[in-house]
Amino acid sequence: MSVPLFVAREIGRTLSDENVWLPTVTIDVSQSPDVADLARVHAVEGIGDVSTHAIREDDTIVVGVQLTSPVQAMFAVAFSYALHREFLEEVADAGSLIFATTEVEAAHEEQPLWLSVDIDGDALRQSMNLEVD
C-alpha cells in the first residue's frame, strides 16, 4: 500500500467554532481524491478513529495520519525542521492540526471542510528531539 506524501505548502492558523486559533497546514491533494474527500466523510460519518505519528530525518519532520474508521486511509505530510520548528511546537502545544485541502484565500467566503486531527504533542516533541513537558 502506498501512502500519499504531501509537502507542507503554507502554515498558519484557523479560527475554530470555539473561537480558538488552531495550527493549520495547506497541502495540495489535487492528485489524491481519497485524501481530498476525508474531511467530508468525517463531517458526515463522524470523527472515527484517527492516530498520528511523526518521524524526523535530518531536516525533515514527517507527520503521518492513519484513519481506521469511518474509512481506512493513510497519508503523511513533510515539514522542514528549519522552516517549521516553531509551527510544529505550536501543533504540539495545541494537540491538534488542521489540514487545509482547498485554497486558503477563498476559505472565509466558501467555508470549506478541512480535516482536523488530534496530535500527540509529547510524541511530536520527542520525534523533533525537543524536551517533553
Q: What is the pLDDT along the chain (133 residues), one digit of tens a residue?
A: 689 999 999 999 988 888 999 999 999 999 999 998 988 887 888 777 889 999 999 999 999 999 888 888 899 999 999 999 999 999 999 999 999 988 777 776 777 788 889 999 999 999 988 555 4
Say what the pLDDT of residue 103 is: 75
**Whole-number Å distance between alpha carbons of 124 and 81:** 12
In the chain, where the domains are located: 5-127
* pTM, 2 dp: 0.88
For 96, the enclosing helix (H) or strand (E) is strand 96-100
**Whole-number Å distance between alpha carbons of 124 and 19:** 25
DSSP secondary-structure letter at 75?
Answer: E
Say what the pLDDT of residue 1 is: 63
